[in-house]
Amino acid sequence: MARAIAVAFAVLSVAVWFYVFDEWWGLVAALVLCVPVGIAFSLVPPLLAGTLRPMLGDVGTTWGLMLVGIAVALVGLAALEDTVRALVALCGAGLFTGGLGLFFLRLSAMLQYTRESEPS
C-alpha cells in the first residue's frame, strides 16, 4: 500500500509540474524539468521520515509529518498565488504523503504481528 501511495504521489507531482512549467516553456521543457523534480519531490518525504524516525519515534514522525504537511498545504493554498501556490501545496502534499506512507507501514507491521501471534 505504501508503494502505491508513493507511485500515486509521483504521478501527481509530475502532473503538477506539467501544469506549472507548461505555462512558461511549453511541453518539451516541462518534460525535461518536471520528471526529475517530480521524482525528487516524491522521494524527499520518505527520506525525511527515515531521518526523523530515530529521533522522534514512529508515532511522532508519522503524525508530525501528516500535520505539518496539512498545515503547509493549507497555508500555501490560502496565502499564496499561482505557481508558488501549486509548489507549496505540492510540498505539503509530499510531507503528508511521507507520514501516510509511514502510517501504512506501521499498520502493515501491526497486522502481520497479530496474524503471527494468533492462538492456534
For the chain, the structural domain boundaries read: 2-116
Q: Decide if 91 contacts 83 (C-beta within 8 A).
A: no
Q: Scanning the structure block, which residue is given the C-alpha cell 507501514?
A: 105
φ, ψ of residue 23 in degrees (nearest 5)? -65, -30
Q: CA dist 35 to 27, 60, 120, Å? A: 12, 31, 50
| pLDDT tens column, 52-97 | 778 888 788 888 888 988 998 898 888 887 767 777 787 788 788 8
| pLDDT tens column, 104-115 | 888 888 888 888
| pLDDT tens column, 11-59 | 676 676 666 665 555 555 556 666 666 666 667 777 777 787 788 887 8
